[in-house]
Amino acid sequence: MRHPAARSSAGRPRRSVAGPLAVVLVLVGVFATGAGLGQSAGGPWRWLGGGSKEPSREFPVLAPSRPTKLAVPSIGVRAPVHRVGLADDGSIAVPELERHHEVGWYEDGPSPGQFGPAIIVGHADTRTGPSVFHDLVKLRAGDRIEVTRQDRSVAVFEVNSVEHFDKDKLPAERVYGDFRRPWLRLITCGGRWVGGGTGYSDNIVAFASLVESRKS
């Protein structure tokens, strides 16, 4: 839900190293203004978007290639993707507010289609109104997400679930540390606006699995 005082509603999760690869995103800490990731790697969660869907057992695996465009037809998203890294405070940088209709891919993690969770973050709103991931909560299990990559391939993901987490109950290993297959995580903020250094109370994470690849 948009809050008129919000300056930014995506954020910057801190990185810590875990798992088989140095770039695995087991991220703790908080997003900056307006959103945040909780500090717990466990705890309960609740599902949005009509439940969850088990990913298919067969899937492609793609070579590394940076994403350039994101399309989520069911919620009307078509957005450029630019690379984000780490901010000065050691957290993941987010799209600049003047680029709030774009999304950011964390370039030190997997690219969409590689083994592991590719992370794409976006704002839900700004002071002036809705932003790119404003309707992320409306995704349903089975919806498709298309990521166009620099190598002119399109990685097609299927939404498994959309989940709403309290910041202090984020299952970070599940969100960022699963390298069993190619995944995609779309992340924004949600819940109550609490202001201060917290911003929104919760995170919204769309979990999706790679099901197809094609040439653009």
Domains defined along the chain, listed by start: 14-43+62-215 (2.40.260.10)
pLDDT above 70 coverage of the chain, percent: 73
pLDDT at 117: 97
- Which tokens in the block code for residue 207? 């979990």
When the pLDDT of each residue in the chain is averaged and rounded to a whole number, the result is 78
Give which of 121, 94, 124 is closest to 3, Cα–Cα: 124
Confidence of residue 198 (pLDDT cuts 50, 70, 90): low
> At a CB cut-off of 8 Å and minimum separation 6, what does 200 contact?
3, 6, 9, 34, 35, 36, 124, 189, 190, 191, 192, 193, 194
DSSP state of 39: S
Measured CA to CA, the distance from residue 121 to residue 73 in angstroms comes to 17
| C-alpha distances out from residue 146 to 71, 89, 212, Å | 5, 32, 10
Residue 60 vs residue 4, higher pLDDT: 60
- Segment 144-168, tens digit of pLDDT: 999 999 999 999 999 999 999 987 7
In degrees, rounded to 5, the angle at the alpha carbon of residue 141 between the alpha carbons of residues 151 and 95 is 50
> Residue 26: enclosing H or E segment and its boundaries?
strand 26-28
Q: Note the pLDDT of residue 141.
A: 97
pLDDT given at position 203: 84
* Contact indicator for 161, 189 with CB cutoff of 8 Å: no
- List pLDDT tens digits, range 25-53: 333 222 333 333 333 333 344 556 566 88
pLDDT of residue 50: 60
| pLDDT surpassing 90 at residue 24 | no
Alpha carbon distance 125, 3 (integer Å): 8
CB atoms within 10 A of CB 117: 26
Mean pLDDT of 57-79: 96
Exposure string of 199-216, with b = 16+ CB inside 10 Å and e = fewer, is bbbbbbbbbbbbbebeee
Whether the pLDDT of residue 182 is over 50: the answer is yes
pLDDT at residue 85 above 70? yes
Model confidence pTM above 0.85: no
Distance CA 156, CA 134 (A): 21
pLDDT in tens, 101-140: 999 999 999 999 999 999 999 999 888 899 999 999 999 9
The predicted structure's pLDDT at residue 37: 36
- What's the token pair of residue 195? 């202001």
Mean pLDDT, to the nearest integer, of 43-65?
76
Residue 57: pLDDT band with limits 50, 70, 90: confident
